[in-house]
Amino acid sequence: DVKVTQSSRYLVKRTGEKVFLECVQDMDHENMFWYRQDPGLGLRLIYFSYDVKMKEKGDIPEGYSVSREKKERFSLILESASTNQTSMYLCASARMRGQGSYGYTFGSGTRLTVV
Amino acid sequence: AQTVTQSQPEMSVQEAETVTLSCTYDTSENNYYLFWYKQPPSRQMILVIRQEAYKQQNATENRFSVNFQKAAKSFSLKISDSQLGDTAMYFCAFSSQGGSEKLVFGKGTKLTVNP
């Protein structure tokens, strides 16, 4: 069964900590994405990557960075966690453009609480 | 930039009845893809149905069907014979033909199926 795996389901961190959220996919997808999901705001794109070592900013990149050293792994980094980064974080992957658009496969999400 | 609007933040339906969720989008493109995703409570987001804009025929997946009106830029989801397991957040999403695989999401509709 193909899947996108996020390393933690729930995470509690302190203000100012550096936080790593990990995402691994086993579908050999070129594209990977990080969204945050907040009630009433839907899904907002933080960063995405269409190839190893490539990254592009989404709509709300401030306070975040990403790393993609291997095709299957896409990490989201909160450089200095703040309480307004308390949210649900969703990772997703998708096949390369040119093969049609079949949407995303999502991970189960990481609910991050910053205290 | 493309936008996706879901005008119904919450809806409810009785078990076995039919419900329609609304979605409108704004784009200047002629070819694109539209999706409905389902996110059950505390569970993973999954793809419900996919529509290619250049296809006239409305997509159908078992009890789920869409009413795609390209000129009106409308993409509603109809759920027939609603089941308790259909209780979830539903997100409408848009992907353009060119460029990256980025999806633009609506803010979601929370559907509750009542016994």
CATH code of the domain in which A49 resides: 2.60.40.10
pLDDT digits (tens, 9 = 90+) for B48-63: 999 988 888 999 999 9
**B102 and chain A: CB distance < 8 Å anywhere?**
yes
- Does the pLDDT at position B96 exceed 90? no
* Neighboring chain B residues of A35 at a CB cutoff of 8 Å: 105
Q: Which residues contact A86 (CB under 8 A, 6 or more apart)?
A: A112, A113, A114
* Neighboring chain A residues of B95 at a CB cutoff of 8 Å: 101, 103
Could you say which DSSP state residue A85 is in? G
The number of residues making up chain A comes to 115
- Does the pLDDT at position A70 exceed 90? yes
- What is the domain extent for residue A97? 4-114
Interface test with B, best of A31, A43, A54, A56 (most B CBs within 10 A): A43
- The single residue listed with the structure tokens 């975040």 is A64
CA nearest neighbour of A6 among A37, A39, A41, A34 = A34
Sign of the CA dihedral running A18, A87, B76, B41? positive
**Domain residues of chain B, as ranges?**
3-114
pLDDT digits (tens, 9 = 90+) for B24-55: 999 988 888 999 999 998 788 999 999 988 88
Question: How far is A79 from A99, CA to CA, in rounded Å?
Answer: 35
Amino acid at B108: G
Backbone angles phi, psi at B26, to 5 degrees: -130, 120
Q: How far is CA A60 from the centre of its chain?
A: 12
Mean per-residue pLDDT of chain B = 92
CATH class of the domain at B3-114: mainly beta
* Neighboring chain A residues of B99 at a CB cutoff of 8 Å: 97
